[in-house]
């Protein structure tokens, strides 16, 4: 009996219940190594304790979005900082966000924010083609995603499973920009040309960097990691003379009925500030500020230096739901 | 009375922790828009769309189990029955594949056998195979099974080793009087530890059936990748739960096979005291063969994955950076996993006792019922736990906002596993010993404390070790329920994996290996010390 009492006491001493106080709870799918320092800056500046849950790469575990949806009836998170623009729009469609138009967002271009304030964008990534410089010369590099369907690229291109993550969003944006028929033809041509479907964007990077394929479609942050690691790779922003490529801002939204709404709004104001855009531009993820006048390192493109596909992210989220059955069959899943 | 109350309490504990979240999810999957609907199940069972996927899952699990059994039983035998040089070193090393996330082992082998991999080039050169053929192999179901068996064979090894150590020497001694050691091994030793081996095989089969990391990396279309797709691409938890149903059916079928095979056979092999000097084989050829085998397994399963990680690390500062990232996770992981493994071992013992030693009508159904939940994927359990425990109210918030939700997650996932392992060790203890204790007037607790626990000691150690390793590596459920500030090591690893330099990710993987081996080593030393004391007391 004595033994049981002692054990129980020790175990209860270990419990650290998370009580509400001057705090804010954030769920973020932005990579931990980039988002954590920014959240620490906010803590230092305001004295508000930030309690964060970070996500894994989308194809490695069933992560945050499922947790947010499951917690819908009793939300734990005050804000959701998404590394892509479609998931906050999806939460909006599911009625899980609440409106907040931050004063810090006035100089962010209108196309990157919801007019009703359910989500607001900042610092962006883009979809790019990464190619291996040992296998391709500058003259041979692909300039358009449509080049990758040509016979010369047979079996030499990798793409992440289009059912997930930014690849799914990219394909949905293509369906909007090109129309269903042309987009389906592009996807089918890509498949007929022996495209290698892999598990994630970082896996695309790995295969290109190791020279197992000549080129792959991935995101700027994955590509920058390969460049920083000294791999023989280079980045192409595709279709500069055509429709452009997909620009994917980070997005932040306030969760409906969350416990710390006021602190949540303060954190949103901070995340949408120039200071954060500048930090993310100078961080290794090299994200592009959405404001034209934020100072960036020489190698980081400003948003006006590349051509973006003109899409509404709300439409992208809806399109994504529409084309999922096609993508499932295309990917063979 | 003591017995009934304790066992009823432990079964209720199981119902609340493991059963309820899963039953909740399945109930939810047949309830749509205010009425019952079996649409998702109809799609799976009657449309034929899933036949190939289920077949893929079965092929993957079968090949993985065969390879793991081959390596695991042999390794367990050499550890328990021979005096190979550096035996303890090999044993600790063989834990490593179970500790390294399967994803990391997968990347190591894909790098080696991929089109531009070192081993691919060598094999292509010497075996006159095309580079594509080798690369296609590693990206196939067979390649996935090969990698998974590396990851899972230590489970069978541990179960085999400890059940051989439990074996009373008198059976083998009497065999040796009339036959050669080879005959004793074939006709006496192996048949007597059959339930333990079968239990290890079943665990590995179900684990490979519900494995997600490797099939996802290699893009193999199996049930778990389908479940993942429904969760992460379609956000459809009902369809995802329904796809988990075939996993449960397959598990029931294997239990029936096991029941048919073991029915009516007796495995009560323990003597009146724990085995101290079981028969050891000293044949020279066996020692040479064992050493070659251990070196080969060490090379394939430990050396290659570890070397891949080490080669990625360019400077020692990577360890410093990784350690700073992992500091919190290390403390949390060791703390949570030790508590989890202790609870699991204790509850598993009581449930194992209930399903093996108590005579009642539903005995067989109870053990089946407990085991079928093991195949349910981690995500389904995680979402189920959120739905059950994330509610307003002091009690629920205290559980959901603290480490207890993680411990409950461990219990929900691994209680069937700990029960299964303990059940098979309990099979070895003759009931007559307990009866003898009761006749002398001892209470049930006294019988457990003085007779069953000491005889079951090896089983308890094996269960704690396996549960500890599984808890420390758990990702799927924990990531869905962990409160802020309660990150464990796998969560730290997987959250920094995206976009962190490779050297930090590799350094962190190595830290995970050593942080798991350290408490394991301490636990093994303590348990050896206690075994010695127990044996001297019971003698």
pLDDT tens digit sequence for A311-323? 999 999 999 989 9
Instruction: Reply yes or no on whether the pLDDT at A33 is more than 80.
Output: yes
Q: For residue B198, give how far its alpha carbon lies from the nearest alpha carbon of chain A (Å).
A: 31
- Return the pLDDT at B482: 92
Which residues of chain B neighbour A223 with C-beta distances below 8 Å? Answer: none
- Return the pLDDT at A60: 56
* Percent share of chain B, pLDDT over 90: 22
Contact call for B219 and A211, based on CB within 8 A? no
Nearest to A301 by CA among A257, A241, A235, A252: A235
Instruction: Reply yes or no on whether the pLDDT at B270 is more than 80.
Output: no
pLDDT band at B268 (very low <50, low <70, confident <90, very high): low
Mean pLDDT score of chain A? 89
Whether A17 and chain B come into contact, CB under 8 Å, resolves to yes
Highest mean pLDDT: which range of B100-104, B189-193, B292-296:
B292-296
Instruction: Work out whether the CA dihedral A262, A268, A273, A279 comes out positive or negative.
Output: positive
Mean pLDDT for the stretch of residues A178-203: 93
Coil, helix or strand at residue B35: strand
**Which candidate in A6, A33, A60, A78 is best for mutational testing of the B interface (most B CBs within 10 A)?**
A60
**Which candidate in A6, A66, A90 is best for mutational testing of the B interface (most B CBs within 10 A)?**
A66
List the structure tokens of B519. 């408490």
For B481, nearest residue in chain A (alpha carbons):
A67
Q: Which helix (H) or strand (E) holds B431?
A: helix B431-439
Query: CA angle, B19 as apex, B18 and B21 as ends, to 5°?
Result: 80
- Return the pLDDT at B272: 45
Contact call for B497 and A60, based on CB within 8 A? yes
Contact call for B232 and A76, based on CB within 8 A? no
Which position has the higher pLDDT, B103 or A274? Answer: A274
List the structure tokens of B513. 């290996």
- Return the pLDDT at A104: 94
Which residues of chain B neighbour A25 with C-beta distances below 8 Å? Answer: 484
pLDDT for A112-167, tens place per residue? 999 999 999 999 999 999 999 999 988 899 999 999 999 999 999 999 989 888 99
Q: For residue A32, give how far its alpha carbon lies from the nearest alpha carbon of chain B (Å).
A: 6
For B498, nearest residue in chain A (alpha carbons):
A57
How far, in Å, CA of B427 to CA of B190, rounded?
15
pLDDT for B297-352, tens place per residue? 999 999 988 888 888 787 888 888 888 888 888 899 999 999 999 999 999 999 98
Among A33, A62, A164, select the one facing B499 at the smallest CB separation.
A33
- Return the pLDDT at B162: 81
Q: For residue B146, give how far its alpha carbon lies from the nearest alpha carbon of chain A (Å).
A: 19
Contact call for A61 and B401, based on CB within 8 A? no
Contacts of B165 (CB under 8 A, 6+ apart): B80, B275, B278, B458
- Return the pLDDT at B65: 97
Whether A257 and chain B come into contact, CB under 8 Å, resolves to no
Contact call for B499 and A69, based on CB within 8 A? no
Q: For residue A106, give how far its alpha carbon lies from the nearest alpha carbon of chain B (Å).
A: 31
* Percent share of chain B, pLDDT over 70: 95
pLDDT for A257-293, tens place per residue? 999 999 999 999 999 999 999 999 998 888 999 998 8
Mean pLDDT for the stretch of residues B133-138: 89
Which residues of chain A neighbour B479 with C-beta distances below 8 Å? Answer: 56, 61-63
Mean pLDDT for the stretch of residues A76-82: 95
pLDDT for B272-309, tens place per residue? 444 555 677 777 888 899 999 999 999 999 998 888 88
pLDDT band at A3 (very low <50, low <70, confident <90, very high): low
Which position has the higher pLDDT, B397 or B278? Answer: B397
Whether B475 and chain A come into contact, CB under 8 Å, resolves to yes
How far, in Å, CA of B53 to CA of B244, rounded?
12
Whether A223 and chain B come into contact, CB under 8 Å, resolves to no
User: What Å distances lie between residue B413 and A166, B373, B382, B416, CA to CA?
Assistant: 31, 8, 9, 7
Q: Which of residues 211-250 of B touch A (CB under 8 A)?
A: 213, 216-219, 221, 225-226, 228-229, 231-235, 237
Contact call for B499 and A168, based on CB within 8 A? no
How far, in Å, CA of B98 to CA of B523, rounded?
17
pLDDT band at A45 (very low <50, low <70, confident <90, very high): very high
Number of CB pairs < 8 Å for A and B?
149
- Return the pLDDT at B408: 94
Mean pLDDT for the stretch of residues B154-170: 84
Instruction: Work out whether the CA dihedral B146, B148, B151, B154 comes out positive or negative.
Output: negative
- Return the pLDDT at A219: 93
Which residues of chain B neighbour A17 with C-beta distances below 8 Å? Answer: 397-398, 401-402
How far, in Å, CA of A311 to CA of A243, rounded?
11
- Return the pLDDT at B276: 54
Q: Which of residues 32-51 of A touch B (CB under 8 A)?
A: 32-34, 51
Q: For residue A51, give how far its alpha carbon lies from the nearest alpha carbon of chain B (Å).
A: 6
Query: CA angle, B36 as apex, B35 and B42 as ends, to 5°?
Result: 140
- Return the pLDDT at B72: 95
Nearest to B494 by CA among B216, B148, B197: B216
Mean pLDDT for the stretch of residues A237-257: 94
The mean-pLDDT minimum among A286-300, B172-186, B199-213 falls in B172-186
How far, in Å, CA of B65 to CA of B153, rounded?
8
Which position has the higher pLDDT, A27 or B38? Answer: A27
Contact call for B485 and A51, based on CB within 8 A? yes
pTM for this predicted structure: 0.84
Which residues of chain A neighbour B494 with C-beta distances below 8 Å? Answer: 56-57, 60-61
Instruction: Reply yes or no on whether the pLDDT at B401 is more than 50.
Output: yes
Give the ipTM.
0.82
Q: Which of residues 142-171 of A touch B (CB under 8 A)?
A: 161, 163-164, 168
How far, in Å, CA of A162 to CA of A199, rounded?
9
Q: For residue B498, give how far its alpha carbon lies from the nearest alpha carbon of chain A (Å).
A: 6
- Return the pLDDT at B13: 82
- Return the pLDDT at A15: 54
Coil, helix or strand at residue B477: coil
- Return the pLDDT at A232: 94
């Amino acid at each position: 009996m004595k033994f049981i009492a002692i054990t129980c006491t020790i175990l209860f001493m270990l419990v650290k219940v998370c009580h509400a106080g001057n705090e804010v709870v954030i769920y973020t799918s932005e990579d931990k190594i980039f988002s954590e320092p920014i959240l620490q800056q906010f803590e230092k500046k305001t004295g508000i304790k930030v309690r964060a849950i970070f996500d894994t790469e989308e194809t490695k575990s069933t992560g945050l979005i499922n947790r947010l949806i499951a917690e819908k009836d009793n939300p734990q998170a005050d804000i959701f900082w998404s590394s892509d623009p479609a998931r906050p729009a999806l939460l909006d469609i599911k009625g899980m966000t609440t409106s907040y138009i931050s004063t810090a967002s006035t100089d962010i271009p209108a196309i990157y924010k919801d007019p009703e304030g359910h989500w607001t964008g900042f610092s962006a990534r883009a979809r790019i083609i990464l190619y291996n410089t040992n296998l391709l010369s500058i003259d041979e590099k692909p300039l358009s995603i449509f080049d990758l369907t040509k016979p010369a690229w047979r079996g030499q291109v990798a793409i992440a499973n289009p059912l997930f993550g930014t690849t799914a969003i990219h394909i949905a944006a293509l369906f909007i920009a090109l129309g269903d028929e042309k987009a389906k033809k592009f996807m089918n041509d890509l498949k007929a040309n022996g495209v290698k479907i892999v598990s994630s964007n970082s896996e695309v990077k790995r295969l290109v960097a190791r020279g197992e394929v000549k080129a792959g479609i991935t995101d700027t942050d994955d590509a920058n990691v390969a460049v920083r690691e000294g791999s023989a790779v280079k980045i192409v922003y595709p279709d500069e003379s055509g429709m452009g490529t997909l620009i994917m801002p980070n997005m932040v939204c306030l969760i409906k009925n969350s416990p710390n709404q006021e602190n949540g709004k303060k954190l949103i104001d901070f995340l949408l500030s120039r200071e954060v855009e500048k930090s993310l531009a100078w961080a290794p993820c090299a994200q592009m500020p959405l404001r034209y006048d934020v100072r960036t390192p020489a190698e980081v493109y400003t948003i006006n230096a590349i051509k973006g596909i003109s899409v509404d992210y709300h439409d992208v989220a809806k399109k994504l739901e529409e084309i999922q059955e096609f993508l499932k069959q295309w990917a063979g899943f | 009375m003591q017995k009934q109350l304790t066992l009823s309490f432990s079964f209720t504990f199981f119902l609340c922790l493991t059963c309820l979240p899963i039953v909740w999810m399945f109930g939810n999957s047949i309830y749509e828009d205010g009425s019952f609907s079996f649409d998702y199940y109809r799609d799976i069972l009657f449309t034929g769309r899933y036949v190939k996927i289920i077949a893929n899952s079965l092929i993957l699990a079968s090949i993985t189990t065969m390879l793991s059994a081959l390596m695991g039983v042999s390794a367990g035998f050499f550890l328990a029955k021979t005096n190979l040089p550096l035996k303890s070193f090999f044993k600790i090393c063989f834990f490593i594949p179970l500790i390294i996330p399967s994803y990391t082992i997968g990347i190591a082998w894909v790098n080696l056998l991929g089109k531009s991999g070192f081993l691919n080039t060598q094999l292509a050169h010497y075996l006159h195979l095309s580079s594509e053929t080798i690369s296609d192999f590693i990206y196939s179901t067979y390649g996935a099974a090969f990698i998974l068996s590396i990851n899972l064979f230590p489970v069978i090894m541990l179960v085999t080793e400890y059940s051989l150590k439990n074996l009373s020497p008198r059976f083998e001694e009497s065999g040796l009087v009339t036959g050669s050691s080879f005959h004793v091994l074939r006709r006496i030793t192996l048949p007597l530890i059959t339930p333990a081996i079968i239990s290890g095989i079943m665990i590995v089969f179900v684990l490979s059936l519900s494995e997600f990391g490797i099939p996802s990396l290699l893009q193999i279309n199996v049930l778990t990748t389908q479940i993942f797709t429904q969760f992460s691409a379609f956000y459809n938890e009902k369809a995802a739960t329904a796809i988990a149903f075939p996993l449960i059916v397959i598990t029931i079928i294997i239990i029936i096979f096991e029941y048919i095979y073991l029915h009516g056979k007796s495995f009560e092999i323990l003597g009146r005291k724990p085995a101290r000097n079981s028969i050891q084989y000293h044949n020279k050829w066996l020692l040479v063969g064992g050493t070659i085998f251990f070196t080969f397994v060490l090379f394939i399963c430990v050396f290659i994955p570890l070397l891949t990680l080490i080669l990625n690390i360019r400077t020692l500062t990577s360890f410093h950076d990784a350690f700073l990232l992992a500091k919190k996770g290390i403390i949390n992981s060791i703390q949570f996993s030790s508590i989890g493994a202790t609870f699991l071992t204790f509850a598993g013992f009581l449930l194992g006792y209930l399903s093996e030693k108590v005579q009642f009508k539903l005995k067989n159904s109870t053990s089946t019922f407990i085991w079928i939940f093991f195949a349910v994927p981690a995500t389904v359990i995680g979402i189920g736990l959120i739905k059950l425990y994330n509610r307003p109210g002091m009690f629920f918030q205290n559980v959901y906002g603290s480490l207890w939700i993680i411990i409950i997650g461990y219990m929900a996932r691994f209680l069937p596993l700990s029960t299964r392992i303990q059940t098979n060790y309990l099979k070895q203890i003759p009931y007559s010993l307990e009866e003898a204790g009761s006749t002398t007037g001892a209470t049930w607790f006294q019988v457990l404390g003085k007779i069953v626990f000491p005889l079951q000691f090896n089983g308890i150690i094996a269960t704690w070790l396996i549960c500890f390793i599984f808890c420390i590596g758990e990702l799927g459920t924990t990531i869905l329920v962990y409160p802020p500030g309660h990150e464990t090591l796998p969560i730290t690893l997987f959250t920094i994996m995206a976009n962190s330099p490779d050297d930090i990710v590799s350094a962190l993987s190595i830290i995970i290996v050593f942080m798991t081996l350290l408490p394991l080593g301490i636990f093994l030393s303590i348990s050896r010390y206690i075994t010695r004391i127990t044996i001297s007391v019971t003698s």
